[in-house]
RNA sequence: GCCCCGGUAUUCCAACCGGCAGAGAAGAUCGGCUCAAAACCGAUACAGUGUGGGUUCGAAUCCCACCCGGGGCACCA
């Protein structure tokens, strides 16, 4: 070979090295190619093993932001990995497009909520495509489409048939600003979760889903989910469901046939019950109050109703209440005790009535002190106890008190035994029974707003509640816009007279439509099933497809939905299973919660002026660098502080990786077996470990390992085996494939420069050569008293005896042991020897 | 108050079943390249793992107590 030719080759390599990677041009080129290739369409009839990857679909408010960028970047790592590993991957995306912001925007701009909604959806759709995600866009859906909410309404009717949707009158949370009721879950610290206004109570007839019917199962299944769900979320759900064990105890009321049942978790303290308290807003209080006390009671009740939740929840305020004028009989002591109404007892928890045990409950203590009621301790506190009520462990006392003749004696028993003994006694005597209670309430789903799925019920004066016949679904929203949507005391649908008045489907007489819409969490409780056949106009979803694709193998989203959305979707799944629509118990086999993107230690907000605009970041650093930054910054669950990370550093790394593809001097298909073994070992180790890292969601470490391989390849090219070695090609191809999970544009460009056809996303994860994972020699550490004194190069399969001998023969060890007696030698071949000497 | 999770170089983060505290990155300093700067290449420095005990031949890792931070529940009887 002439010198001339050699120099030309070198020159061309050098030119390539100097060339810079045109990020923006690359993005434009490959986006178009991918659109034509459609490599991520999931085929229902594929023989390959399925994987269902799901990310929480966005609400269409404006364009995508950093939060969307993070969750989808993380999600895409898994989805793309599954494709590379040979699975058929279902990875759909859509929009949760009903909701209040669109309605508020419509009022402000005098338009229809759909205008705002669908314009934003298009904006976000274009941004998603630019962002290079592996979504199957053929399955796109919007919950605000009549074709979608038709099936939301259908499911509502199915649930109603099962008795899982019902209407009841009760005090509910009311947001005076949004002019709508709120679910318990949407009230945070007494304020509306959405707008922050102080929530008040209103007595209204509303629709509920009977989530409590599944309370125990929702709790039990968490044990299995625990393995593949974030601890945080499992814990939050457990707390939310709030199971407690206790007893129902019946108290006979003077002059009343029916006893009043109370719920208590401490039946062992029953001897200390010196009064009874019922919730002031419970119907029971109204029933019990004597005529002499009625006026006083009603005044008090009005006072309480006017209070906001915030006032009611403040814990250190004085206890209030009214004596109802009746007495109850303590079932074990026979004592006559007064019955009071108060606001510190909740109407909708337990039975709405409580036995007042001031000696064992701080709230009762405060109440008793304030009202001058007697206090009896029933658990002996430790000698140094300085508090008021005592609810800890200790022997039971005064149960009964000295000299009192009672049918039950639990004195001296520890709390646990005292409880079970009391429950057995109550059960035998027909005075009560052991029971379980949940904090979880039924899900209030009615909303007095417009932009949601109308509840498909017609109210007929003759036939009552009549479901809209299935063949008349969907009940389409009337065309309202602008001022029609303003809160005015009656809901927008209620004011749409033409729409409201209909013929009763049963008798044909005049009737009215239900004027509420459903909470948007209903829409998102089943969308993962609609993705299976989003255009099927004959049914909500195909059970056969649910069988094939479900449940979701991984769901990624934010913790803000840890209790609401996830719990509701779990409830829907169980209900649908019991209706025979699906066979699985849980919708999401694994759940990964992603952290937030913050800036400078604070949440991004307009008022702080610390917002990071996604579009600006993409324009400055390119899609891949932003995605890489988000994936590399921290473990997925942790928050990312944008001030701590370096998208410029990511861009730099991508350049480094890209440059490798220009340096490779062997032809495509070059046999790597002939290549440099040292580099091949790094490549195969990285492929092997990389797969495990993805599967355990340690994406940040995966990136670090790819960086390591890039560094090793760079070194091999510059000062090792050189660019023509086939191991360099093998390594660079591996980088391209692994990088395709995080930085698809760069990976595709590299793949192309390596002489391959698109798309690298479907190239397949290279098969790892096990032989290359074995090390020729490893470093064994020799410690004396736990301190490292020598290192030995040994074979990985060295015997313990040989290793020990080698260690004791090492000059440094001999020196360290001078004048000492070896007492014990611990050998862990091939890694370590520890010599204990003295 | 109860329940979860976390605390490792200046910073973000690694460290498998207890076995050399450092994989990767940011920033810093120095050097090479350059008329110069950026980019690029190379080198260097920086922690004994929140605190105090315990178990162990050996602890970032396991146990106990406490401190700090994040999250959930909370007048739920």
Does at least one atom of strand B sit less than 7 Å from the CB of A783?
A: yes
The tokens describing A790, both together, are: 């020598």
The whole-number Å distance from A601's CA to B34's C1' is 39
Residue A771 is classified by DSSP as G
Nearest-nucleotide field for A237 (CA, C1'): B72
Predicted complex ipTM: 0.95
Measured CA to CA, the distance from residue A93 to residue A531 in angstroms comes to 8
Q: Of residues 296 to 335 in chain A, which lie within 7 A of strand B by their beta carbon?
A: 312-313, 315, 317, 319
Measured CA to CA, the distance from residue A447 to residue A476 in angstroms comes to 16
Task: Yes or no: say if A550 and A584 are a contact pair by the CB < 8 Å rule.
Answer: yes
Nearest-nucleotide field for A360 (CA, C1'): B77
The whole-number Å distance from A767's CA to B8's C1' is 35
Whole-number pLDDT of residue A786: 75
Whole-number pLDDT of residue A174: 84
The whole-number Å distance from A367's CA to B75's C1' is 11
- pLDDT (mean) for A384-407: 89
Q: Which residues contact A151 (CB under 8 A, 6 or more apart)?
A: A526, A530, A539, A540, A541
The whole-number Å distance from A253's CA to B6's C1' is 53
The whole-number Å distance from A646's CA to B45's C1' is 22
Across the beta sheet with A554-558, what order do the strands follow?
Answer: A88-90, A50-55, A554-558, A591-594
Whole-number pLDDT of residue A510: 97
Whole-number pLDDT of residue A796: 79
The whole-number Å distance from A21's CA to B43's C1' is 27
* Closest CA relative to residue A730, chosen from A692, A768, A758: A768
Nearest-nucleotide field for A236 (CA, C1'): B72
In the structure, what pLDDT confidence band is assigned to residue A574 with cuts at 50, 70 and 90?
A: very high
Nearest-nucleotide field for A314 (CA, C1'): B75
* Closest CA relative to residue A60, chosen from A126, A124, A115: A124
Q: How far is CA A686 from CA A62, A286, A682, in A?
A: 40, 72, 6
- pLDDT (mean) for A53-67: 95
In the structure, what pLDDT confidence band is assigned to residue A4 with cuts at 50, 70 and 90?
A: very low
Whole-number pLDDT of residue A19: 62
The whole-number Å distance from A384's CA to B52's C1' is 25
Task: Yes or no: say if A289 and A341 are a contact pair by the CB < 8 Å rule.
Answer: yes
Q: Are β-strands A180-182 and A165-175 bridged in parallel, bridged antiparallel, or unpaired?
A: antiparallel
Across the beta sheet with A180-182, what order do the strands follow?
Answer: A180-182, A165-175, A200-209, A443-444
Residue A151 is classified by DSSP as H
The answer on pLDDT for A1 being more than 70 is no
The whole-number Å distance from A185's CA to B1's C1' is 22
Length of chain A in terms of residues written: 838
Does at least one atom of strand B sit less than 7 Å from the CB of A692?
A: no
Identify any residues that bridge with A166 across adjacent strands, giving them in sequence order.
A208
The tokens describing A726, both together, are: 């086939």
pLDDT tens for residues A491-531? 899 999 999 999 999 999 999 999 999 999 999 999 999 99
Q: Which residues contact A125 (CB under 8 A, 6 or more apart)?
A: A140
The whole-number Å distance from A226's CA to B56's C1' is 31
Q: Of residues 332 to 361 in chain A, which lie within 7 A of strand B by their beta carbon?
A: 343-346, 349-350, 352, 354-355, 357, 361
Measured CA to CA, the distance from residue A680 to residue A469 in angstroms comes to 67
Other C-beta atoms closer than 10 Å to the C-beta of A554 total 20
Residue A454 is classified by DSSP as B
In the structure, what pLDDT confidence band is assigned to residue A9 with cuts at 50, 70 and 90?
A: very low
Does at least one atom of strand B sit less than 7 Å from the CB of A602?
A: no
The tokens describing A830, both together, are: 């091939």
Does at least one atom of strand B sit less than 7 Å from the CB of A695?
A: no
Whole-number pLDDT of residue A834: 87
Cis bond leading into A815, ω under 30°? no
Does at least one atom of strand B sit less than 7 Å from the CB of A609?
A: no
The answer on pLDDT for A472 being more than 90 is yes
Does at least one atom of strand B sit less than 7 Å from the CB of A439?
A: yes
Handedness of CA A554, A555, A558, A563 (dihedral sign): negative
The answer on pLDDT for A787 being more than 80 is no
Measured CA to CA, the distance from residue A743 to residue A739 in angstroms comes to 6
pLDDT tens for residues A668-706? 999 999 999 999 999 999 999 999 999 999 999 999 999
- pLDDT (mean) for A123-131: 96
Does at least one atom of strand B sit less than 7 Å from the CB of A572?
A: no
Q: To the nearest whole number, what is the mean pLDDT of chain A?
A: 91
pLDDT tens for residues A812-832? 888 878 878 888 888 887 888
The tokens describing A353, both together, are: 């009535």
Does at least one atom of strand B sit less than 7 Å from the CB of A779?
A: yes
> pLDDT exceeding 70 applies to what percent of chain A?
97
Residue A815 is classified by DSSP as H
In the structure, what pLDDT confidence band is assigned to residue A169 with cuts at 50, 70 and 90?
A: confident
In the structure, what pLDDT confidence band is assigned to residue A190 with cuts at 50, 70 and 90?
A: confident
Measured CA to CA, the distance from residue A244 to residue A438 in angstroms comes to 6
Nearest-CA residue to the C1' of B71? A232
Whole-number pLDDT of residue A12: 33
- pLDDT (mean) for A22-26: 91
Q: Of residues 378 to 417 in chain A, which lie within 7 A of strand B by their beta carbon?
A: none
Q: Are β-strands A353-356 and A275-279 bridged in parallel, bridged antiparallel, or unpaired?
A: antiparallel
Chain B: bases < 7 Å from a protein Cβ: 3-5, 11-15, 19-21, 23-27, 39-42, 57-59, 70-77
Measured CA to CA, the distance from residue A576 to residue A570 in angstroms comes to 10
On the CB side of A272, CA atoms within 13 Å amount to 28
Report residue A419: phi and psi, to 5°: -60, -55
Does at least one atom of strand B sit less than 7 Å from the CB of A619?
A: no
Place of tokens 């490292």: A788
The answer on pLDDT for A10 being more than 50 is no
Other C-beta atoms closer than 10 Å to the C-beta of A291 total 7
The answer on pLDDT for A11 being more than 60 is no
> pLDDT exceeding 90 applies to what percent of chain A?
76
Other C-beta atoms closer than 10 Å to the C-beta of A351 total 20
Q: Give the 3-state secondary structure of residue A299.
A: helix
In the structure, what pLDDT confidence band is assigned to residue A452 with cuts at 50, 70 and 90?
A: very high
Measured CA to CA, the distance from residue A178 to residue A371 in angstroms comes to 39
Burial A462-499 (b: 16+ CB within 10 A, else e): eeeebbbeeeebbbebbebbeebbebeeebbbbbbeeb
Task: Yes or no: say if A727 and A716 are a contact pair by the CB < 8 Å rule.
Answer: yes
Whole-number pLDDT of residue A760: 97
Whole-number pLDDT of residue A14: 35
Place of tokens 């990370």: A645
* Closest CA relative to residue A617, chosen from A607, A608, A636, A604: A604
Measured CA to CA, the distance from residue A640 to residue A645 in angstroms comes to 8
Measured CA to CA, the distance from residue A140 to residue A699 in angstroms comes to 27
């Amino acid at each position: 070979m002439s010198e001339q030719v050699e120099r030309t080759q070198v020159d061309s390599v050098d030119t390539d090295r100097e060339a810079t990677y045109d990020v923006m041009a690359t993005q434009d080129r490959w986006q178009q190619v991918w659109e034509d290739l459609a490599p991520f369409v999931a085929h229902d009839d594929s023989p390959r093993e399925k994987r269902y990857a799901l990310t929480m679909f966005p609400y269409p408010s404006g364009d995508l932001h950093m939060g969307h960028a993070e969750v989808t970047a993380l999600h895409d790592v898994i989805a793309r990995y599954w494709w590379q590993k040979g699975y058929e991957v279902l990875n759909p995306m859509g929009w949760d497009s009903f909701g209040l912001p669109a309605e508020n925007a419509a009022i402000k701009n005098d338009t229809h909520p759909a205008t705002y909604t669908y314009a934003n959806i298009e904006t976000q759709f274009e941004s998603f495509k630019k962002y290079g995600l592996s979504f199957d866009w053929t399955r796109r859906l919007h919950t605000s489409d009549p074709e979608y909410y038709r099936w939301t309404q259908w499911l509502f009717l199915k649930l109603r048939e099962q008795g899982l949707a019902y209407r009841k009158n009760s005090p509910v949370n009311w947001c005076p600003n949004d002019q709508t009721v709120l679910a318990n879950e949407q009230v945070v610290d007494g304020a509306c979760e959405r707008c922050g206004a102080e929530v008040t109570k209103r007595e209204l007839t509303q629709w509920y889903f009977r989530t409590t019917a599944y309370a125990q199962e929702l709790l039990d299944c968490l044990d299995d989910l625990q393995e593949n769900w974030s601890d945080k979320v499992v814990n939050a759900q457990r707390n939310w469901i709030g199971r407690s064990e206790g007893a129902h105890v019946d108290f006979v009321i003077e002059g009343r046939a029916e006893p009043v049942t109370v719920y208590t978790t401490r039946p062992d303290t029953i001897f200390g019950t010196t009064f009874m308290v019922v919730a002031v807003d419970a119907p029971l209080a109204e029933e019990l109050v004597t005529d002499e006390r009625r006026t006083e009671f009603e005044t008090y009740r009005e006072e309480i109703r006017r209070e906001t939740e915030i006032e009611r929840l403040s814990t250190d305020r004085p206890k209030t209440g009214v004596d109802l004028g009746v007495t109850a009989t303590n079932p074990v002591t026979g004592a006559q005790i007064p019955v009071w109404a108060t606001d510190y007892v909740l109407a909708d928890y337990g039975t709405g009535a409580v036995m007042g045990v001031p000696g064992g409950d701080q709230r009762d203590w405060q109440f008793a002190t304030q009202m001058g009621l007697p206090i009896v301790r029933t658990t002996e506190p430790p000698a140094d106890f300085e508090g008021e009520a005592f609810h800890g462990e200790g022997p039971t006392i005064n149960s009964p008190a000295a000299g009192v003749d009672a049918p039950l004696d639990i004195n001296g028993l520890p709390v646990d035994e005292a409880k079970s003994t009391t429950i057995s006694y109550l059960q035998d005597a027909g005075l009560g029974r052991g029971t379980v209670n949940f904090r979880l309430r039924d899900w209030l789903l009615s909303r007095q707003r417009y932009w949601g799925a109308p509840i498909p019920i017609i109210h007929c004066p003759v036939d009552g509640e009549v479901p809209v016949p299935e063949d008349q679904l969907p009940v389409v929203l009337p065309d309202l816009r602008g001022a029609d949507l303003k809160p005015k005391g009656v809901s927008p649908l209620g004011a749409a007279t033409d729409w409201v008045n209909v013929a009763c489907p049963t008798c044909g007489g005049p009737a009215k439509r239900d004027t509420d819409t459903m909470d948007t969490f209903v829409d998102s409780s089943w969308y993962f099933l609609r993705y299976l056949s989003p255009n099927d106009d004959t049914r909500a979803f195909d059970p056969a497809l649910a069988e094939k694709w479900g449940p979701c193998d991984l769901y990624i989203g934010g913790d803000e939905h840890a209790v609401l959305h996830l719990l509701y979707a779990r409830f829907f799944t169980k209900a649908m299973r019991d209706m025979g629509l699906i066979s699985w118990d849980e919708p999401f086999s694994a759940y990964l919660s992603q952290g937030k993107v913050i800036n400078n230690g604070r949440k991004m907000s307009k008022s702080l002026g610390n917002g990071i605009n996604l579009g600006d970041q993409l324009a400055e650093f390119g899609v891949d660098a932003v995605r890489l930054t988000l994936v590399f910054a921290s473990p997925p669950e942790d928050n990312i502080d944008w001030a701590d990370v370096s998208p410029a550093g990511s861009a730099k790394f991508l350049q480094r990786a890209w440059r490798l593809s220009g340096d490779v001097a062997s032809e495509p298909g070059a046999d790597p077996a002939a290549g440099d073994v040292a580099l091949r070992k790094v490549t195969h180790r990285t492929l092997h470990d990389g797969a495990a890292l993805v599967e355990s969601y340690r994406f940040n470490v995966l990136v670090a390992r790819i960086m390591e391989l890039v560094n090793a390849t760079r070194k091999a090219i510059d000062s090792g085996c050189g660019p023509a070695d086939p191991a360099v090609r093998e390594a660079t191809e591996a980088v391209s494939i692994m990088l395709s999970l995080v930085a698809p544009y760069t990976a595709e460009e590299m793949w192309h420069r390596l002489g391959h056809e698109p798309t690298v996303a479907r190239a397949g994860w290279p098969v790892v050569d096990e032989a290359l994972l074995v090390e020729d020699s490893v470093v064994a550490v020799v410690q004396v008293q736990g301190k490292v004194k020598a290192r030995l190069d040994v074979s990985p399969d060295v015997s313990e005896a040989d290793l020990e001998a080698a260690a004791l023969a090492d000059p440094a060890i001999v020196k360290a042991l001078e004048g000492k007696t070896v007492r014990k030698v611990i050998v862990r071949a091939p890694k370590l020897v520890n010599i204990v000497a003295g």
